[in-house]
Structure 1
């Protein structure tokens, strides 16, 4: 998941609507994680396509990367680029992992039988590996969910974000539009094949061959399609773009599962169309949009500001919620919604506090230090 345009390139015109859309998608991710434990499986989750927000983040990230950096490589080294990315991404990674570690031993539930048998040294080892965003091997799985990052599950997408950043900086940034277009078409075919074969694109958070393949496939098309879009699109001026794009994002992510267990391919086609066609269209409209009131500017800025912190801090709270659900079998959405709402609001407040009291000051200090 990427960050605000203004952070990486203050001298260029800003796309505030894209920041706002990132915040909208981040909030939907939280609702997805809050409804996930109420389903009986991946076919009947209330926010069934919420995980596609990650693919939307990747596309936004590629667009931002191309816009912010494509014309700067004559005066910027790869090392300087990576330094900027680490300064922008890692402080919140460290906070998110630390929050997950603090809550680790307090999530008392039979759903994670390993937790209370894990020695402190092993938990700290997993935490320190998490600080680097490198995935842990399955032998170090201390929660029992086979996550790359047991302290904060969402770290898997940051791992693939870094891979995409490395590929961009060392190799793919040099591609011509034609070469990049061919690469993106091949990546789109691979994504559609995976989605239609599996019935969905959920996955990527486990360090094994199958899940790493899913993670790479989910990353390569949207990220580099976003890069291609940044090079080829000529934004116009579209009114009410934030409203329409927000509605489109919500419609895509809140759409119920299509086809059921009998016709998995139907859902795979839906997700392929969303990522390959609809998401680039949303980003193009968002980049073309104009904000007409100060209220719209404030909303987009707030949503953009909290989007990345919200993504990193919400899951440690969700672990407590999942434990509560698992300890109260048969909990319905009617019974759970007050607690879910509390987690959602608490996550937003925590994200804003983390932004103002930790993330922004730490990044400012790091920029001064590295400058």
Structure 2
């Protein structure tokens, strides 16, 4: 956030002159606008779909203030950099580390145990200001990206700023040395030009990379520092223009007011019109970033017709003063509130969160932020760095303790799961839905326990082939092949599709052991095996998915396995349509793939897509179970809501080929009208869509005869 709170910088009098220190009320007003956008967006996303641009406003303000400071007191030797970074430590770390520590403790006591590890992992990364890179890596992981947000995820923007603060002063120091070495420093005009060229080159390169990466990999582009430096740097360029002048910049007050209104209008317009589908940051960020830079550059006064008058109002100034702490506190409260209220946030919950955020922010500003900025607190460099490192170590240690507690619970859950698997209970898992067995309803602690269920995934998720991830993924969708079962077997089964094919690997492994089959997988993350362009974030990604479909279809046809098993989940619309209107194009795309194999006389089994709790109102079954204990009904749903239409089944029927069969095991997952999160004492899903490995294995006795019949006898 715009965390350089000592806003006494050049141009404080609205003229652009290097005036005596004072407070620019328009900067505090911009902070108030920025934090209000972010908080409203996080509380009620539908009311302010582009409120995320508040972060970009903060970036520009931070770049402006930091560069103003560096240019008015230019660093000339390494000690100046150490002093600058020490001020950043005293300004930023006490409040941020306090919030991280409190959040970790609160997570331990109120959050579902299934959310502990991601919170601990991100808190440790946030304490060292690297969490944006962790989130960037997770954003391209289909399953990780679908996980519930952690209460410290918002620290990504602080990480970007801290990394900017680490590198930008070094750049200013180097440019200053070039100025001295080339004797440019004696001319303010030449000095300004040199700084504008040096800083501007970094801004231009970062902007170009931001445009490129946003088009190629928008999920990653949102978090990485390299796509955001230009936003802070643009604020720095405005500062350089104002500070490094040989005469005051005096704008007509009316012109400055109009320009400031245009800048604020640009910010507000994007807040209301941008959405989560807007490619960002890229060139689209120019609107809020440029608007902020314009307001900072013209430094409009407080005349009656000027926005500066509104920005100078006491409520705006107060909110701007505490904006850093507001940003720190609001998100943990939003994420953890449902764990306390026992459900979804409502209007009353949101009101309580706002009040609590403002109270905590005001207290933190007074008793933490201000305390570490007073002369009475030691300014010795060694002590500052030592205490900063100690604070980081405390947070990292607290995160580690949370993980240790979690792993102890997981180990206990594994032992319980092992005992359950050895019991040979006919009512275990899917067997409980066989009517003739008259199994009692599930009660007591399920297996795997929710803490372990979220990890109970098929071996295709990075644990097979020496840790090889068997899923092809963005951005390129390469062809990835894994082998399970008996590698020397004479008969081969090809498992093809996206993650809803991968969830069947545990069942196929068990069947392969019984039948002495080799199982070869061709799996993708999200990309369904249909010959149709699916709507990804970019055209390049859509093309990569379609290329994967063509390569895998041809490869399976060329390798002639003894049986092809296909399963897919449709989670993306086709290009040019919404998801509701995509059924027919998908059916045609599946038909093209299946017909190509049928023409090769390959036996094919299409597994009907499984019910998905996330299609109802249960985003994560383990999270829900961890929150509601033995109240399994709270995590159940209507089969009509959970069971998706499957165009691949319709495609198989349209082909009407004896070599293409459809197998539907959903009656072994759900009852006639209701789907439960626990069946036969087993947790059915490891998230909001995919079967746990344990439940998938319990389906193998029902899948095996279907596959054996489809494969037919040995030739």
When normalised by structure 2's length, the TM-score is: 0.41
Out of 348, 351, 367, which is 2:358 matched to?
348
Out of 300, 309, 312, which is 1:288 matched to?
300
> Take 1:186 and 1:270, find their aligned partners in 2: how far apart are those partners?
13
Matched, 1:163 2:169: no
Q: Contact 2:25/2:312 (CA < 8 Å) preserved in 1?
A: no
Out of 320, 326, 329, which is 1:310 matched to?
326
Q: Contact 2:322/2:365 (CA < 8 Å) preserved in 1?
A: yes
Matches within 5 A, 1:1-371: 1-6=1-6, 12-36=21-45, 45-73=46-74, 77-109=80-112, 113-115=114-116, 130-135=126-131, 150=150, 152-172=152-172, 174-175=174-175, 176=194, 177-197=196-216, 210=220, 214-233=223-242, 234=249, 236=251, 237=253, 238-239=256-257, 246-257=264-275, 271-275=284-288, 277-285=290-298, 287-290=299-302, 296-321=312-337, 323=339, 327-328=343-344, 336-364=346-374, 367-370=377-380
Report the counterpart of residue 40 of structure 1 in structure 2: none
The superposition leaves residues 260-311 of structure 1 with CA deviations (integer Å, 9 ceiling, x where unpaired) of: 6xxx66x7777233145333223324x3333666993523431221111101
The superposition leaves residues 14-40 of structure 1 with CA deviations (integer Å, 9 ceiling, x where unpaired) of: 32211111122112211111124xxxx
> Take 2:154 and 2:160, find their aligned partners in 1: how far apart are those partners?
11
The superposition leaves residues 317-371 of structure 1 with CA deviations (integer Å, 9 ceiling, x where unpaired) of: 011235579944xx8xxxx233223212321222112111322123326744438
> Take 2:334 and 2:376, find their aligned partners in 1: how far apart are those partners?
30
Q: Which has the higher contact order (CA 8 A, sep 6+)?
A: 1
Question: SS where residue 3 of structure 2 aligns?
Answer: coil
> Take 1:297 and 1:308, find their aligned partners in 2: how far apart are those partners?
19
> Take 2:75 and 2:368, find their aligned partners in 1: how far apart are those partners?
33
Do the aligned partners of residues 326 and 146 (structure 1) sit closer, same or farther apart at CA in structure 2, a change above 3 Å counting? farther
Question: SS where residue 152 of structure 2 aligns?
Answer: coil
Shift of residue 240, structure 1, vs aligned partner: 8.5
Greater mean deviation of Cα atoms: 23-32 or 339-348: 339-348
Do the aligned partners of residues 276 and 217 (structure 1) sit closer, same or farther apart at CA in structure 2, a change above 3 Å counting? farther
> Take 2:98 and 2:55, find their aligned partners in 1: how far apart are those partners?
20
> Take 2:120 and 2:224, find their aligned partners in 1: how far apart are those partners?
26
Cα RMSD of the aligned pairs, angstroms, is 3.8
Do the aligned partners of residues 189 and 20 (structure 1) sit closer, same or farther apart at CA in structure 2, a change above 3 Å counting? same
Q: Contact 1:20/1:242 (CA < 8 Å) preserved in 2?
A: no
Q: Which has the higher helix share?
A: 1
When normalised by structure 1's length, the TM-score is: 0.73
Greater mean deviation of Cα atoms: 298-307 or 270-279: 270-279
Q: Contact 1:23/1:307 (CA < 8 Å) preserved in 2?
A: yes
Question: SS where residue 289 of structure 1 aligns?
Answer: coil
Q: Which has the higher strand share?
A: 2
Q: Contact 2:41/2:47 (CA < 8 Å) preserved in 1?
A: yes
Q: Contact 2:4/2:66 (CA < 8 Å) preserved in 1?
A: no
> Structure 2: 5+ residue runs without aligned partners?
11-19, 139-143, 176-193, 243-248, 382-715
Do the aligned partners of residues 163 and 268 (structure 1) sit closer, same or farther apart at CA in structure 2, a change above 3 Å counting? closer
The superposition leaves residues 230-259 of structure 1 with CA deviations (integer Å, 9 ceiling, x where unpaired) of: 11244634448887755543332222439x
> Take 2:145 and 2:338, find their aligned partners in 1: how far apart are those partners?
13
How many residue pairs get aligned? The number is 329
